Amino acid sequence: MSIRFILVAPSHPGNVGAAARAIKTMGFEELWLVAPERFPHAEATALAAGADDVLDRARVVATLAEAVAGCNLVCGTSARLRTGSYWPGFTPREAAPKVLEAGAEGVAAIVFGTERTGLTNTEFERCNFLIHIPANPAYESLNLGQAVQILAYELRCASDAAVPRPRRLVPLAPVEELDRLNAHLGEVLAAVEFTDRAGGPHLLKRFARIFGRAELDQHEVNMLRGLLAAVLARRRTRGDAT
Ligand code: SAH
């Protein structure tokens, strides 16, 4: 897996350090700097915190062409969506699977622009597509380090490395089981004469909806059925006694 994060002409060393940290926290390590204004710099090291290894290994080159050489996918990031342009635009979430796929086959690059002016049109020409982080239309330019963080985070979420969801220990109960649970509840409601004000089957349907939302597994259905059976049994024995 090779994902290259490229910062074009970053002017604030702090942003370079923050970008290194953002990349490392999400499990990436490849940082390239195209003509950084000041690098290396104490402020970059300070903001990288524990990610100074990423910073130390950062490749510094003179041109964007050198940074994207050999990449099989190049994505430019932009604070503005260039509507009406021929560059297709995606959100980070939409772009993430494409970037990961290309990164698995070769090297995928994500290119970030300089703080004041972003990427130039010539730089965009080198990109296969644009990525725009949806933001307040009246103020949509994020801090460079934070833009890197969001991209790295979305890539992480879309990758296999994302924290796997805990596996269900017991499978969900099939519909037939829920039907049986509802029928059983219907019996109990009738037995204890529990009705809604309107009467009729309405109440049972609402209970069924609650059970549906709860995503009950087989053990939970068994538990509820056990409770209902106990209620009926108890009524029967009390009925016998009276
Ligand atoms: N004034 C510039 C903003 C540059 S911000 C402009 O209008 O483009 C520096 C870099 O951070 C941008 O070049 C881009 O790489 C990234 N960035 C900032 N906000 C972003 C957003 N909403 N979506 C995608 N990238 C963004």
Is ligand 1 within 6 A of the CB of residue 119?
yes
Q: Of 8 and 163, which is predicted with more confidence?
A: 8
Query: What is the arithmetic mean of pLDDT over 149-165?
Result: 88
Instruction: Provide the pLDDT confidence category of residue 165 given band limits of 50, 70 and 90.
Output: low
CB of 115 closer than 6 angstroms to any ligand 1 atom? yes
**CATH topology (fold) of 175-241:** Helicase, Ruva Protein; domain 3 (1.10.8)
Q: Is the pLDDT of residue 240 over 70?
A: no
Q: Given 3.40.1280.10, 3.50.50.60, 3.40.50.300, 1.10.3210.10, which CATH number is that of 3-161? A: 3.40.1280.10
Does the pLDDT of residue 132 top 60, yes or no?
A: yes
User: 135 CB less than 6 Å from ligand 1?
Assistant: yes
Q: Whose CA is nearest to atom 3 of ligand 1?
A: 118
Q: Is 132 in the pocket of ligand 1 (CB under 6 A)?
A: yes
- Ligand 1 in reach of 9 Cβ (< 6 A): no
- Enumerate the domain spans of the chain: 3-161, 175-241
pLDDT at 101 > cutoff 70: yes
Is 175-241 the same fold as 3-161? no
Atom 6 of ligand 1, residue of closest alpha carbon: 118
pLDDT bin (cut points 50, 70, 90) of residue 151 is: very high
Per-residue three-class SS string for the chain: CCEEEEEECCCCHHHHHHHHHHHHHCCCCEEEEECCCCCCCHHHHHHHHHHHHHHHCCEEECCHHHHHCCCCEEEEECCCCCCCCCCCEECHHHHHHHHHHHHHHCCEEEEECECCCECCHHHHHCCCEEECCCCCCCCCCCCHHHHHHHHHHHHHHHCCCCCCCCCCCCCECCHHHHHHHHHHHHHHHHHCCCCCCCCCCHHHHHHHHHHHHCCCEHHHHHHHHHHHHHHHHHHHHHHHHC
Query: Which amino acid residue places its CA nearest to atom 9 of ligand 1?
Result: 115
Whether the full predicted model's pTM is greater than 0.85, yes or no, is: no
133 lines ligand 1 (CB under 6 A): yes
**116 CA distance to ligand 1 middle (Å):** 9
pLDDT digits (tens, 9 = 90+) for 17-75: 999 999 999 999 999 999 999 999 999 999 999 999 999 999 999 999 999 999 999 99
Cα-to-centroid distance, 137 and ligand 1 (Å): 13
